[in-house]
Amino acid sequence: MTIQLDKRLARVWAVAVGLLLVAGTSSAQLEVDMSCVQVNDQGYATVTWEQAADPGGVFQQYVLHVLEPSAGLVLETYNIPDPTDPAAPSFVNTTYNAETTELCYFVVTEGPAGTFGGSSDTLCSIHLTADPSLTPGLVDLNFNSPRIGSNDAPSPEQLGVEFLDSDGNWIQISTVVDNGGMMVAQYALSECEGDLAFRINQPNPTGDCVHLSNVAGSQLSDELDPDPPLITAVQVDYAIQEAMITWEPSDADDLAGYIVYICNGGFQMAIDTIYDPAATWYIDMNSNVQSYIESYNVAAFDECFINGEPDPGAASPYCASSLFLNASTTLCSDQAQLTWAGAYNLASDVASFHIWMDEEQPTGSGNWSGLTEIAAVDANTNTFTHEGATFGATYKYHIVAETASGIDILSNARTLEFSYPGAPTFTSLRRASVSDSGAVNIIVDLDPNSNDAHAYTLQRKRSSDAEFTDLETQDGVGGMTLTFTDNTAQPSESSYSYRVRVENYCSDSVGMSNTAETVWLRGISDFQLLRNTLHWTPYADFPGATAGYRIYRKYNLGNATELLTTVPNTVFTWEDDVSSLLYSPGDFCYLIEATDALPGPAGGINYAFSNELCLQQEPVVWIPNTILIGGVNNTFQPVVSFADFTNFRMEIQNRWGDLLFVTEDIDMGWDGTFKGQYVPEGTYGYFITIQDGSGRYYDRQGLVHVLNGE
């Protein structure tokens, strides 16, 4: 608490130090007024006062009292009998430092023999402090009135606040009305960092001197960062499809530039520094605005660098984002589905979205029609369907978000091609051939110049059916070879026609292959003439033409297949004379091979086999009824043809059923003996079992007469 001191209190202090008022002496004779207190760079106070009025010539000396107002105590008393300049009395106080607190002074005059003449008013040094304000960028200057130690009315003069500039000159920066107590002034820092110095002055009302405070200051810096700029748009440059950030400029006086940040997953990373305070836009050449939403922030920085680097101020609390467009269509559709999101945290909210389109027709021609707005929707809508696109054309879409402040924000561009899959020039069913297992293998060659994928559906029709039915669908592209297998066919009972229907991915039928008809082989066996007669249906339809037919034969028991003959394409029957094959098993299997007049894709023969037909000649057995021991026909041995001679058995029994002879060798006959002795003349029974080439068993039994010709 500052203690107010008046003249009466000063006189009380004067009595306390032993000064006595001389009776009859007029106090007005030696009255004195204080002039100024000036504090120099060392903190020493120079105190000046007016010369005491002495009409009676009784003045002897001044007594200067120094007190500390905060404690209310007189610190020191100085007797000053012989001032240096009687016309301008003064004193330099080197004992107490006026830089740490204000010090107050008053003067008492003395006459002869220590008589008390009068006391001055109290005048204090101005004590100034300069400290950083709680508000960044400001300095708080606190100081007292030179009249703080007196209850006199405040001086009508104002106190001036001075600042020491870089040239060493004191510049007055503001004034404060003297309130007789404590005062404060604020200084807005414009310096980044430096030793700043301030002082307070106040002219004496008489104008003969000026009160000067101590010099206050310290290493002060501008800690007030520029306000973050308002991001007005994050949009996509239409030409280069990169993100462009625009903002309103910061209004900081010492603005030096901006720092651009990219935001990702809650983190912000500086990507560039712009040393241009006039900049209001930036293009990120490494953006990914065509793939997803990109978010950015911008901070301003002033001229106060740290270690040579900009000291950025705070950025906006939220990152602003781009406007991201997705566009899609499906094959065979004339609609484009557009969805978009973004344009978040901008200086102005989005008011509406506008859909723009550019058309190139036909695709790849470079003939673009020009940008056209095709729709506008409100800010709550983020989807749009464009209908009626032209097949064979390409469309480029982008979205423009219009903000409430009238700023247009462009999205990325999306390009869609509307194509209709064409038809292949040809689809060639190379062959429909019956396999060894009885299935039908169908091979289809696709147009090598067809680049679109198509669905190929195999269709089948029996010779007795009126309509084709679908069997199996495979996908294929140009140049492929498709293989179908019809395991449900019964090619031994009927011929089958096959063809392949071609569909594009719009489920539209766009082609059909040639129709192939399998060769159906049938035949009969003539047991009297020993011939097998074959007849077959013609093959249709090779990519070329049927050149002819090859006839193959093999035995059912695994003998190699042999080519019997080749007949022209107009012949559909043939007889196989097997009379020369009596000692074969009697089973004959046949195949017909139709051949194409044109080679296959690899240059080999294109062919199609018929079903396999197996015919059986029944075994023929000649059995003698008599043997003559010692004669010409002395062995009982049957003659067998068209049989499987590996499965033969013959037994000879007497009339009582006793087994006399048995053999499984077709070449071994019975010579009429039993245990090395000829049997008696008489009748004996025989039992013969044979197997044909198809595995069927035949039994023969009868009687043989044994005669003894010796």
pLDDT tens figures, 620-661? 788 888 988 888 888 998 888 777 777 889 999 999 989 999
One domain, residues 449 and 347: no
Q: What are the pLDDT digits (tens) for 7-47? A: 434 444 443 433 333 333 444 567 888 899 999 989 999 99
Residue 525 has pLDDT above 80, yes or no: yes
Averaged over 555-572, what is the pLDDT? 85
Averaged over 319-338, what is the pLDDT? 94
pLDDT at 5: 40
* pLDDT bracket for residue 208 (50, 70, 90): confident
One domain, residues 60 and 186: yes
- Provide the mean pLDDT of the chain: 87
As a whole number of angstroms, the distance between CA 54 and CA 401 comes to 91
As a whole number of angstroms, the distance between CA 309 and CA 301 comes to 10
One domain, residues 317 and 330: no
pLDDT at 310: 85
pLDDT at 19: 37
One domain, residues 72 and 175: yes
One domain, residues 396 and 445: no
CATH number assigned to the domain comprising residue 349? 2.60.40.10
Averaged over 97-115, what is the pLDDT? 86
Q: What are the pLDDT digits (tens) for 430-465? A: 999 999 999 999 999 999 998 888 999 999 999 889
One domain, residues 453 and 506: yes
pLDDT at 265: 84
One domain, residues 197 and 116: yes
One domain, residues 167 and 39: yes
Handedness of CA 353, 358, 363, 364 (dihedral sign): negative
Total structural domains within the chain: 6
Place of tokens 């140049």: 479
For residue 412, list its beta bridge partners. Answer: none
One domain, residues 398 and 449: no
Q: What are the pLDDT digits (tens) for 250-305? A: 888 788 999 999 999 889 999 999 999 999 999 999 999 999 999 999 999 988 87
The more confident residue out of 61 and 294 is: 294
Q: What is the percent of the chain where pLDDT is above 90?
A: 57
Domain that holds residue 250: 231-321
One domain, residues 335 and 364: yes
As a whole number of angstroms, the distance between CA 430 and CA 432 comes to 7
Q: What are the pLDDT digits (tens) for 565-593? A: 999 999 999 999 988 887 777 788 999 99
Evaluate whether 320 touches 345 at the Cβ level (below 8 Å).
yes
In a 13 Å sphere around the CA of 230, the CA atoms on its Cβ side amount to 8
pLDDT at 166: 81
One domain, residues 275 and 353: no
Residue 420 has pLDDT above 90, yes or no: no
Q: What is the percent of the chain where pLDDT is above 70?
A: 91
- Identify the three-state secondary structure at position 259: strand
Q: Which residue in 682, 649, 694 sits closest to 668, CA to CA? A: 649
* pLDDT bracket for residue 57 (50, 70, 90): confident
Residue 677 has pLDDT above 50, yes or no: yes
